[in-house]
A and B are shown apart, each in its own frame.
Chain A
């Protein structure tokens, strides 16, 4: 079965640079979520989109922005990168299942961002 695709898988940037992470959800999934996981930490929710509109917002820095496009893929834009932004960034996607009344999130493999 098709899974969530994230690119790039690894990214190295310098401080104050910008980075763009891409997420391609599972086909027919209309909701995308972004999570950040620092070293030794639990995943932390950043932001989510449903039908190209922002639906929830978590602890996302103002330096970060994201959007969901008409083909449902999403991009997380990160500017003025700081050393503390080094982390794994996961994208997840979901779709409401009326049969079970649930919307299980399925995660991608993640993008490892290293800021030097």
Chain B
């Protein structure tokens, strides 16, 4: 499994755009990049997943450069409720429909201030 490195913590203010970068220098050809959000005492919540270039959904964008050695989660116009831990995970989907465990490492604690 590719090792990921992301900032331990970040501060932001309401209404700002937040970009959290994750490094994954050893990403393999088949690996996807997935981001989860976790609030205290709640289960991780899937945010976005991508393989290359840019992916956008209703809550976030994921930017992946051509070399795929890093990725950036972009949260537009954050609010106080976006205060949470954000995990970047890298791994390959199973090709035989078997389970594929997630390895959570570190995570970025985002604090959104009023």
A binds B: yes
Q: Total number of A-B contacts with CB less than 8 angstroms?
A: 76
Residue from B41, B99, B107 in contact with A55 in the complex, judged by beta carbons closer than 8 Å = B99
Residue from A45, A102, A110 in contact with B43 in the complex, judged by beta carbons closer than 8 Å = A110
Beyond A42-B87, A96-B94, whether A103 also contacts B100 by CB under 8 A is yes
Answer whether residue A70 sits at the interface, using C-beta atoms and an 8 A cutoff.
no
Which residues on A sit within 8 Å (CB–CB) of B38? 43
Number of interface residues of B (CB under 8 A): 25
Which residues on A sit within 8 Å (CB–CB) of B54? none
Residue from B42, B93, B98, B107 in contact with A102 in the complex, judged by beta carbons closer than 8 Å = B93
A85–chain B nearest beta-carbon distance, Å: 17
Main secondary structure of the interface of A (DSSP, over half): strand
Answer whether residue A24 sits at the interface, using C-beta atoms and an 8 A cutoff.
no
Which residues on B sit within 8 Å (CB–CB) of A72? none
The answer on a CB contact under 8 Å between A50 and B103 is: no
The answer on a CB contact under 8 Å between B42 and A110 is: yes
Answer whether residue B83 sits at the interface, using C-beta atoms and an 8 A cutoff.
no
Interface residues of A (CB under 8 A from B): 4, 30-33, 35, 42-45, 48-51, 55-56, 58, 88, 90, 92, 94, 96, 101-110, 112
Task: Give the 7 A-B CB pairs with smallest separation, nearest first.
Answer: A107-B43, A48-B99, A55-B99, A42-B104, A45-B101, A55-B98, A43-B104
